[in-house]
Amino acid sequence: MDVTTDAGAPWLIVGLGNPGPEYAMNRHNVGFMVADLLAGRIGGKFKRAGKAQAQVVEGRIGAPGPGSRRVVLVKPMSFMNLSGGPVNALRDFYKVPVDRVVAVHDELDIDYGTLRLKLGGGDNGHNGLKSMTKVMGADYHRVRCGIGRPPGRMQVADFVLKDFSSTERKELDWFVDRAADSVEALLAEGLERAQSTYNA
């Protein structure tokens, strides 16, 4: 895919998470954290997206000129396992091809602090991805933010809905910043170059 040509459609950057202050610092909400940081970088504030059950920020990512990309940052407000409906409604509204959708999400099978970028693939049990894939297919980009596996016999659901530990929080700002950088690189340089930089 050639990301240097702008066919007019924006990129839809979807931070996955759960709405509400009680979930704000959960591992499952790292996608929201990245979306909030990207919104700050482009000088925007999230607001309700019409009838869609989501909050959005519209703007441009990248240096002014031909290298900048029109984006719509999205935080679904439907809870994780229903994310696909609001995302697909916005994709239809903005006429975004599936391969211009980027899901930013937590990933159990990657060590904490590690990133992996890819196009397409399975959902690996992630309810947000499962919901998105069900309504629009799997051929969207993913920025996978590693959170590691639960310790001992802790259930996965309990682990992802707990806040980052005090040790993890020491690196969290750096991790979220790097994830936001990887989204910008994906849009500006294409998947392969972004992978070579960020897929540790």
167 Cβ neighbours under 8 A, 6+ residues apart: none
Residues 7 and 146: their CA atoms lie apart, in Å, by 32
Q: Which of 28, 105, 126, 141 is catalytic?
A: 28
For 151, residues 6+ apart whose C-beta sits below 8 A from its C-beta are 159
What 8-state DSSP symbol labels residue 11?
E
* Helix, strand, coil shares, percent, the chain, to 5: 40, 20, 35
Q: What is the DSSP string of 177-196?
A: HHHHHHHHHHHHH-HHHHHH
Spatial separation of the C-alpha atoms in residues 155 and 101, rounded to whole Å: 30
Q: Which two tokens stand for residue 198?
A: 């960020």
Q: Is 141 helix (H, G, I), strand (E, B) or coil?
A: strand
Identify whether 28 is a catalytic site residue.
yes
Residues assigned a catalytic role? 28
